[in-house]
């Protein structure tokens, strides 16, 4: 597989492909993972889906910068490619191939 260069890019097809190929795995304590291949680079990725991230000294969980889950059992998760493989042009501190898309996860 040839390595696609790093580029921050969003296409509607990414979300459509990811919706078909990704699986959602619950791990407990408000933590889950999305497993599947990145629609752009094809590398297998595992994306954490969490309810909150600790950020401050005060010992309680705060909501992350991510979107707040809507009420009910539907949540929207903004996903970026988090693959570990090299992508030409990727700067330090960046990860993945640069592709991003959004998924709506419904549990019932």
Min dist. Cβ of residue 82 to other proteins (A): 6
Nearer Cβ to other proteins, position 19 or 37? 19
Under DSSP, is residue 18 helix (H, G, I), strand (E, B) or coil?
Answer: helix
- Please name the residue that has the structure tokens 């408000």: 30
Residues of the shown chain interacting with other proteins in the complex, contacts defined by CB under 8 A: 8, 10, 12, 15-16, 18-19, 22, 24-25, 27, 29, 31, 33-34, 46-48, 50, 53-55, 57, 59-61, 64-66, 76-80, 82, 93-95, 100-108
Residue among 42 and 105 whose Cβ is closer to other proteins: 105
CB of residue 81 to other proteins, shortest distance in Å:
10
Token readout for 50 is 């969490």
Provide CB contacts within 8 A for 44, sequence distance 6+.
35, 36, 37, 38, 83
Burial (CB < 10 A; 0-12, 13-18, 19+), residue 51, is: middle
Residue 15 C-alpha from the chain's centroid: 11
For other proteins, the closer CB: 55 or 88: 55
Shortest Å, Cβ 49 to other proteins: 9
Query: Closer to other proteins at the Cβ: 2 or 91?
Result: 91
């Amino acid at each position: 597989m040839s390595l696609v260069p790093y580029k921050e890019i969003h296409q509607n097809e990414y979300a459509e492909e990811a919706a078909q190929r990704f699986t959602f795995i619950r791990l407990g304590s408000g933590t889950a993972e999305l497993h599947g291949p990145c629609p752009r680079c094809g590398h297998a990725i595992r994306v954490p889906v969490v309810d909150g991230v600790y950020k401050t000294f005060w010992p309680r969980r705060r909501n992350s910068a991510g979107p707040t889950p809507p009420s009910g059992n539907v949540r929207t998760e903004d996903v970026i490619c988090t693959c570990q493989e090299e992508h030409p042009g990727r700067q330090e501190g960046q990860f993945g191939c640069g592709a991003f898309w959004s998924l709506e996860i419904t549990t019932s």
